[in-house]
Amino acid sequence: MKFFIDTANLSDIKEAQDMGILDGVTTNPSLMAKEGVSGHDNVIKHYQAICDIVDGDVSAEVIATDFEGMVKEGEALAELDDKIVVKIPMIKDGIKAIRYFTDRGIKTNCTLVFSAGQALLAAKAGATYVSPFIGRLDDISTDGMGLIDTIRLIYDNYGYETEILAASVRHPMHIIQCAELGADVMTGPLSAINALLKHPLTDSGLATFLADHSKANS
């Protein structure tokens, strides 16, 4: 399973990249705003800075919600760097835009997906990635993981090549369950990735090894 980090924070992206486990980055307008990135030129510079850090796909979301606007914005974003994946919302014009980009060899990420029907449409339009938001489904007492399972079944039934990018991951168990269910990619915060490192027996075992080594060598 590929690991993407879901942030626009350059220091978090660098930390995950330096760990050697990062396959890509996803951003969205809220994450850019959280980092205080505003204005067209600054947003473009920020995407370039992210592309300079990471080896892998970088999702950059369009703001337009009409077909022509999404095409214009998406083409400009795709020209920035080969790593850029144009992130497009799951709306009717978005599906048209995904088809447009697919036909021209430009990578897309269909975002804000909350149902199997939406994921089926994204695959039919040829999206590179589909992003079901599991955490936000869990937030409203709906089974986010169940959606990953259903999309996996549907895509495997027909051999769709669209990769399932489990998004809105909140904690390490989400990551483990995504891997169990066969999500192609998960995107989550650095905190969820770092939490995978943790086990009390690792900490106590290491402390004992170091203490024994120190005694034997004193």
Q: Does 162 bind ligand E4P (CB under 6 A)?
A: no
CB of 48 to ligand E4P, least distance (A): 19
Q: Which of residues 22-61 bind ligand E4P (CB under 6 A)?
A: 26, 28
The answer to whether the CB of 148 falls within 8 A of the CB of 183 is yes
Rounded CA-CA distance 218/80 in Å is 58
87 is catalytic: yes
DSSP 8-state assignment for residue 179: H
Categorise residue 52: left if φ over 0, alpha if ψ from -120 to 50, beta otherwise: alpha
Rounded CA-CA distance 147/115 in Å is 7
# chain residues binding ligand E4P, by CB under 6 A: 11
CB of 178 to ligand E4P, least distance (A): 12
Cβ-based nearer residue to ligand E4P, 88 or 123: 88
Residue selected from 96, 99, 124, 136 as contacting ligand E4P according to rule CB under 6 A: 136
DSSP 8-state assignment for residue 167: B
Residues engaged in binding ligand E4P (CB under 6 A): 6, 26, 28, 111, 131, 133, 135-136, 167-168, 187
Question: What residues are labeled active site?
Answer: 87
